[in-house]
Structure 1
Amino acid sequence: MKEKVATAKLERQVIKSMRNYLEKERFMEIFPPKIVRASGACENIDTLFEIGVNGDFYWFRSKTPHRAYLSQTAQLYLEAFVPYLKKVYSVGPSFRAEPGNDNRHMTEFTMLEIEFAGNFKELLGYIEKVIYNVVKDILSLPAKIKKELKFNSATLKRLKKVKPVFPKITYEKAIKILNLSFGDDIKWRDEQKLLKKFGNQPLLITHYPNPLFNHGKEIEVEKFFNMIPDPENPKYVLSADLILPVSGEAVGAAQRVHRFEELKERLKNSKMFKRLEEKGGSLDDFYWYFEKVKEKSVPHAGCGFGISRILKFLKGEEDIKKAVAFPSNQENII
């Protein structure tokens, strides 16, 4: 139990550090719903947990009966507040029906998400500052507290090497280094190869393929529908993933499309929406979001920090189940 207590304390320390930084930067915390329509889904809509009552999956009947799910992301709910509050964030659980039992995925984990009125360059800066502040705050803790959190000298030495500005590489350059084909997904082993090349520093991979651009072939990489195309090269979107040593992808980020008609077309033509229709969903699942966009929208950007993967990186744990106090997957629920 001592290990669990230390892990719980570290989870608190990480969230506290992130909150302190964001509050200092005038972000306001929002408390989005956790039972949602498909507007609370990430791009992999097949991993949604569906909510039913006594076998009735159309229990919610606000206007017409519709299906409900456990939330995977608060992104769209946060976006709705950006035109009015400028900078917002939330902390809460994300539920993913990830099959099996491996050392990197869980069915429930904590996400800290931010959305703000701003651009892609500012977004990358916030990602660097949030993560660097977490590391800096841990290193500045009294020796007694570090010991309580089970940080040994080797782990602390590794964290001291983290620099305030992270190396950055485009998807196009990354696949050339890895000898992958355009459109291939960058897997965990590929991520570790890239990290080694960049001195095992946190690494930002940017400018992923635009999922709605005609690339002349099917692409494996899949990104959320409302990522904005790069104005200099619409073959790509203004998106980024933060890759952490040991852990892999820990943050997904992008500047968002904020014009209603473009947003609606991107959703309708996305793989995500095709799968939603197969599950019985429709544009009505996003009705409330579209109404908010039509009411008022501004250029904005945001990201989601996967706390369990950040903890995995901080502790140097190979198995994500050892990085959190209450791990859960398809084979383990309490």
Structure 2
Amino acid sequence: MKTTIRQIGSHVEETVIIGAWLANKRSSGKIAFLQLRDGTGFIQGVVVKAEIGEEKFQKAKELTQESSLYVTGMVRADDRAPSGYELSVTDFEVIHEAADYPITPKEHGTEFLMDHRHLWLRSRRQHAVMIIRNEIIRATYEFFNREGFVKVDPPILTGSSAEGTTNLFHTKYFDEDAYLSQSGQLYMEAAAMALNKVFSFGPTFRAEKSKTRRHLIEFWMIEPEMAFMDHEESLEVQEQYVSWIVQSVLKECPQELKALERDTAVLEKIQAPFPRISYDDAVTFLQKEGFEIEWGEDFGAPHETAIAESYDKPVFITNYPKDIKAFYMKPHPDREDVVLCADLIAPEGYGEIIGGSQRIDDEELLKQRYEEHNLSEEAYQWYLDLRKYGSVPHSGFGLGLERTVAWISGIEHVRETIPFPRLLNRLYP
């Protein structure tokens, strides 16, 4: 019976066939141990000379790393094995014999591994991260479908910036200027006016010349927008969503978390509701902690980390100054100098994973913001139309997938959380 390593627990004491690659091997006298992977998981295959014969046993000992083969064997339960099972090999057929595989079991430098990213993905650690990433994506769809959201796909090529910044990748769209999208948010607001609650999941691009462990040039975002919803209601959706994906990973990816040596006790605490601190109070806290920061300045990584260390859950920092936030954020009803927004800061130094706000729903105020930010009313007329024809209170947020994967996985750098990272000086492979 042909099966996969992930499904092998359903075939204990049965003979199965798996297509696999040889990740590693070792031999001890008359026994050879094959570390096998098939893309769904890892398992040890035990080859006993007395059971398989001299010729086949010698061939097993000569197998090279990443050679591909069909392996036949009896599935055995084994509490000592990471997966809980091992395979007693009775036969194998070599499909392709690999030679001089560049990523050996020894230590390699980051640049070398990044140059061989197409092969590095095969390693146990990278496999675990990709499986967790997939589970977060699966749980995302499950959550928003359950909550009555409609999936909408905003364009990647746009004629203007979503946030009025200059960190855009420029291209020509026939005889017009165009840019790679840095956010689908504005289009999602239009979709919310048609479909009530919507979310997008797609690539975004930021031409920021940053080399920090939190930044990628190309990354993926989940961006929900909700009509008839105020800022406080949006915060509740955010904390429920983050709690959902964390608990889903804990439930569905225990082997992967174990392979990454992730402290799951930390993740088990991630349950809504999340604590909240205002920007005002955060500045006061940071000043008491010895940081040189004044009201009106944005927070950097050290500031966010210091604030997050006071909590064992993600923490919302609310009501930032208007002047350091995007043009579309709604002013606080009691204060003109701050807006109805929040950043969600992950624990353990992973920084902001969500940025969100209530959006301006007043046509005249949005026109005023266009002037303040030197935005072309002609280019943004369609966005103004949303306030002109049946405007309603509405809110939304964006979650950065790679930062979230890094946090849940316990991975230090976001470059390991996306299959083929695009970094400041890396476009290969």
Deviations 1:236-280 (A, max 9, x none): 10000000123101111000011212112112202xx3xx6xxxx
1:323 matched residue in structure 2: 417
Distance 2:405 2:163 in 1: 22
The partner residue of 2:407 within 306, 313, 317 is 313
The answer (yes or no) to whether the contact 1:226–1:267 under 8 Å persists in 2 is no
Distance of aligned partners of 1:149 and 1:158 in 2 relative to their CA distance in 1, 3 Å threshold:
closer
- 1:1-334 aligned at under 5 Å gives the runs 1-2=122-123, 3-39=125-161, 41-43=162-164, 45-52=165-172, 59-60=174-175, 66-117=176-227, 118-141=229-252, 145-148=253-256, 151-152=259-260, 154-179=262-287, 180-198=293-311, 200-211=312-323, 222-245=324-347, 246-270=349-373, 273=374, 282-334=376-428
C-alpha displacement of 1:285: 1.9
- Root-mean-square deviation (Å): 1.7
The answer (yes or no) to whether the contact 2:128–2:259 under 8 Å persists in 1 is no
Deviations 1:107-154 (A, max 9, x none): 00000001001001111001101100011111222xxx4214555564
Distance 2:283 2:201 in 1: 33
The answer (yes or no) to whether the contact 1:7–1:325 under 8 Å persists in 2 is no
2:66 matched residue in structure 1: none
TM-score, normalised with respect to structure 1: 0.85
Counterpart amino acid of 1:83?
M
Distance 1:102 1:226 in 2: 27
Secondary structure of 2:186's match? helix
Between the aligned residues of both structures, percent identity stands at 34
Secondary structure of 1:7's match? helix
Report the more deviating stretch, 100-109 or 118-127. Answer: 100-109
Secondary structure of 1:285's match? coil
Structure 1, unpaired ranges of 5+: 53-57, 61-65, 212-221, 277-281
Counterpart amino acid of 1:203?
V
The answer (yes or no) to whether the contact 2:257–2:409 under 8 Å persists in 1 is no
* Structure ranking higher in strand proportion: 2
Structure 2, unpaired ranges of 5+: 1-121, 288-292
The answer (yes or no) to whether the contact 2:319–2:338 under 8 Å persists in 1 is yes
Deviations 1:257-311 (A, max 9, x none): 11212112112202xx3xx6xxxxx322212222343233211000000011101
Deviations 1:189-226 (A, max 9, x none): 1111111122x320100011122xxxxxxxxxx21101
Secondary structure of 1:317's match? coil
* Structure ranking higher in helix proportion: 1
C-alpha displacement of 1:89: 0.5
Distance 1:185 1:77 in 2: 27
Distance 1:160 1:72 in 2: 33
User: Greater relative contact order (Cα 8 A, min sep 6): structure 1 or 2?
Assistant: 1
Larger radius of gyration: 2
Distance 2:188 2:388 in 1: 16
| Residues matched between the structures, number | 299
2:6 matched residue in structure 1: none
The answer (yes or no) to whether the contact 1:49–1:69 under 8 Å persists in 2 is yes
TM-score, normalised with respect to structure 2: 0.67
The answer (yes or no) to whether the contact 1:11–1:311 under 8 Å persists in 2 is yes
